[in-house]
Each structure stands twice: as structure tokens, then as C-alpha cells.
Amino acid sequence: MELITSTLEGLSNGMNEMSEEIKIGTREVERVQSSGGAGVATFVRNISRKLSQPVNIFASQIKEGVTVISGNWNNVENNYLLLLSDGKITTDEKSEDIKTNVEHLEGLQSSIYASNEQMEGFIISMQSCLGLERRLTQALKALILGVQEYLSITNMMISSIDRIISKSKLLYTNDER
């Protein structure tokens, strides 16, 4: 679970770095546009080319992150479900551990829902930039694909968490009778 958390933090940092580069590029374009004159279109095209690099870097990071998260989440899910299928979890201490884990998983699930909503909006904003410049368009397409893969794995995690929570609650609800 720690590897998943650190990977998610790394993706967040990567996205922040890319966003900062985009903000810098946007300020440069706004500065040049406000001064007017010839060459504004060429300048904007050059900035767009320059911005393709941080977009490509983040696209690679998200692709690697999805691979790490996917592989490790399968282990987490299998371990939880194996633990829950073990009939030795009838002690009060184990029952409290399960309740605590359910609370953590519910928090993770809420965070995933919020993250997915932001990522869906992020895809829409990236799609609006397609066609500005060839290299930037290629980078954005790769990033959109990566974000869609991220959404796919996180949606799978949401379903998995639902199964774990359902099985957990059934176990400690039966235990309290």
C-alpha cells in the first residue's frame, strides 16, 4: 500500500511540475501578446513546442505510475480478501483492525472519487489544446491516453474497495451478533 501511496504522491508532484511549466509558458505568451507586433504567432508556436517536453515527461510518469499502481493494487486486494476469508478473524482485536482498515479504505475511495473528477476535467482541458502545434498535440494525446488508463485503474480500485468493504462489514456485523 505504501508503494501505491508514494506513486500517487509522485504523480501529483509530476502534475504540479508540468502545471508550473505551463503557467510560465502562458505568462510568456500573454506578455508577448500584450506588447503586440509581428512574430506573435511564431512565438506562440515556439512556446507550444517547448511545452510539449514537460507534457511528455508527465505522460511517461503517469504511464509508469499506472503500471505500479495496477500491479500493487492486485496484491493489496488479494491480501485483504484472503485475510477476510480466513475464519480466524473472530477476536475483538481483529474485528477492530478490520473496522479501522474499512475506514481507511473508505477514505481512499473518497479521495479516488475526487481525483477522478479532477482528472476528467483535466482531459477536457487538454482536448481543447489539441491542434495548437504538432509536437504539443502528440504529447497531449499521449497524456490523455495515460490519464484514461489512470482512470480505468482507479475505477477498478473503487469496485475492489466496494467488495472489500462489503465483505468486511458482513464479517464484523456477523461477529457482533
Give the C-alpha separation, 154 to 160, whole Å.
10
- Per-residue pLDDT averaged across 16-32, rounded? 90
Is residue 170 very low, low, confident or very high in pLDDT (cuts 50, 70, 90)?
A: confident
Q: Which of 173, 11, 161 is nearest to 77 (CA)?
A: 161
Radius of gyration of the chain (CA): 22
For residue range 34-58, list pLDDT tens digits in order: 887 677 888 888 999 999 999 999 9
Q: Count CA within 13 A, CB hemisphere, residue 140.
A: 21
Round to whole Å and give the CA distance between 171 and 9: 32
What is the share, in percent, of the chain residues with pLDDT greater than 70? 90
CB 55 within 8 A of CB 92: no
Q: Which residue has the higher pLDDT, 51 or 168?
A: 51
Q: How confident is the model at residue 89 (pLDDT cuts 50, 70, 90)?
A: low
Closest by alpha carbon to 55, among 143, 145, 165?
143
| Residue 158: band (very low, low, confident or very high) from pLDDT cuts 50, 70, 90 | very high
pLDDT higher at 90 or 171 = 171
pLDDT of residue 66: 95
Angle between helices 92-127 and 134-175 (to 10 degrees): 160
Residue the block writes with cell 472489500: 164
Query: Is residue 59 predicted with pLDDT exceeding 90?
Result: yes
Whether 172 has a pLDDT exceeding 70, the answer reads: no
pLDDT at position 155: 96
pLDDT at 174: 54
Instruction: Read off the pTM.
Output: 0.83
Q: Is the pLDDT of residue 98 over 80?
A: no
Report H helices in the chain. 2-35, 40-85, 92-127, 134-175
* Per-residue pLDDT at 4: 86
Domains of the chain: which residue ranges? 2-175
CA 36, 127, 64: angle at the middle one, nearest 5? 115
Can you spell out the DSSP letters for 101-122? HHHHHHHHHHHHHHHHHHHHHH
pLDDT of residue 90: 57
Amino acid, single-letter form, for residue 30: E
